[in-house]
């Protein structure tokens, strides 16, 4: 990791995540009854818990609404979960105001065009390996793994390890 990336990652106090394509593989699963299910990678969950334990906040901002997301984020202790967001920028502004936090201390991980404007608002834009090319071009860091396959764990480890090295 470059010294500039490490310094930037060390300053992060809030990691914001998209859901579909980041915490999941981006596919939507529906039962015969029309119920939506999602698959989450256990390593992402471990990374989120470790990052929260290090004192860094984690939030979710998603364009879709899902009971599975509510349940999983509750299990992980993620307090700030915003779903059904038509305008992720507005939601991010509200969250930053609620936390009295500057966007200079935030990272956002996305995968597709609806995430691009929010990525441009934060200090550390991140994306998954299989992100849309426009996000790859905008990101200051890109995971090795695809969305839903441990990419969030990589981002959590990046930030946590940089924060820990800053305090040594």
- Give 54-72 pLDDT, tens digit per residue: 999 999 999 999 999 999 9
What are the backbone dihedrals phi and psi of residue 90, each rounded to the nearest 5 degrees, phi first?
-60, -45
Report pLDDT for 116. 96
**For position 7, what pLDDT does the model report?**
94
User: What local confidence, expressed as pLDDT, does residue 20 receive?
Assistant: 96
Write out residues in the chain with pLDDT < 50, as ranges: none
3-state secondary structure the chain: CCHHHHHHHHCCCEEEECCCCCCCCCCCEECCCCCEECCCCHHHHHHHHHHHHCCCEEEEECCCCCHHHHHHHHHHCCCEEECCCCCHHHHHHHHHHHHCCCHHHEEEEECCHHHHHHHCCCCEEEECCCCCHHHHHHCCEECCCCCCCCHHHHHHHHHHHHHHHHCC
Q: Is 152 within 8 Å of 11 (Cβ atoms)? A: no
Q: What is the distance in angstroms between the CA of the first residue and the CA of the last residue of the chain?
A: 17
Instruction: Quote the pLDDT of residue 80.
Output: 98
95 C-beta neighbours (distance < 10 Å), count: 18
pLDDT for residue 29: 87
Give 55's strand partners: none
Q: Which domains does the chain have, with CATH numbers?
A: 3-166 (3.40.50.1000)
Mean pLDDT score across all residues of the chain? 95
Structure confidence at residue 37 (pLDDT): 87
What's the confidence (pLDDT) of residue 168? 65
């Amino acid at each position: 990791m470059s010294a500039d990336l490490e310094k930037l990652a060390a300053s992060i106090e809030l990691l914001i995540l998209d859901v579909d394509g980041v915490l999941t593989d981006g596919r939507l699963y529906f039962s015969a009854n029309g119920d939506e299910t999602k698959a989450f990678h256990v390593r992402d969950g471990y990374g989120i818990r470790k990052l929260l334990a290090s004192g860094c906040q984690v939030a979710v901002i998603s364009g879709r609404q899902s009971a599975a997301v509510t349940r999983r984020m509750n299990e992980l202790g993620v307090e700030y979960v915003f779903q059904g967001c038509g305008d992720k920028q507005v939601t991010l502004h509200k969250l930053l105001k609620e936390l009295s936090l500057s966007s200079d201390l935030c990272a956002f991980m996305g995968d597709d065009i609806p995430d691009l404007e929010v990525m441009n608002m934060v200090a550390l834009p991140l994306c998954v390996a299989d992100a849309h090319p426009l996000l790859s071009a905008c990101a200051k860091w890109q995971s090795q793994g695809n969305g839903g396959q441990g990419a969030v764990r990589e981002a959590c480890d990046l930030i946590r390890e940089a924060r820990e090295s800053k305090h040594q």
